[in-house]
Structure 1
Amino acid sequence: MTVPEQAEGTTRRPSRRRSAVLELLGDLDGFRSAQDLHALLRRRGDSIGLATVYRALQALVDDGQVDVLRGADGEAAYRRCSPVHHHHLVCRSCGTAVEVADPPVERWAARVAAEHGFADVQHQVEVFGTCAGCASATS
């Protein structure tokens, strides 16, 4: 799937479908698959198609309003995110995700990129573990 190029720093004109997807994500905790979001929208009475959900999610990711996380199976999951650069701590059991900022990671990424002659570097860091609630439930 290709997405039309956009000038840096611009955002797309809001659409009713993108707004519906973004509003739903704002009501949810954790990451959800496009299929889950599609089913929830349909239950709410929205006649949106799955392909439209995928296009809306891609536009929202491109605009920095939604985070995407790929699981071990390669499936993408989405969550509304804060506008500042961050990383995630994700519970393998329940899917709870916590946004964290970590300046040492930013410095490390910049240093490694510079050492290898890379510029315009971007990165994502996802740390998976077991949250306190899940850990205490299994103890």
Structure 2
Amino acid sequence: MNDRDKGLIALRGNAIGEILPNSGREEIFQNQTIRPILKLQNDIFVESFLNYVNKSKSDFYGFSTEKKMQFIDNAVHKDIKFRNALKGMVMAMFTVEEFREYTLNSSNLNKRMMNMLIERLKDQIQLLVRQE
């Protein structure tokens, strides 16, 4: 393991969530890698989403909570460019070995990653306010 990989793991901290003997590869990757990265990168995800909202010229800040939730879902699921930017923010924090593991099943791991990110943004809806 090189210095970059050691530094990333030290920065992220330990796994989040239980890893049991019968846990599958995807669940282990999710709890050891994705969850700690999402936690570490949380502030940049919030800022990135606020930037997306401001560039979208929507009335996001005037929406009801339910409509804001739908907007978050649509932004991450349907805007390929935005979703790829978010994926890049996560993948940039992978070690080389984690990247290799990720490439073995990237489709399912991407779904897990984006769903967790959507839930993280929704859970912080109160932080998604206009920045002056």
Tell me the TM-score normalized by structure 1: 0.33
Larger helix percent: 2
Which protein has the larger Cα radius of gyration, Structure 1 or Structure 2? Answer: 1
Bigger RCO (CA 8 Å, 6+ sep): 2
Tell me the TM-score normalized by structure 2: 0.35
Larger strand percent: 1
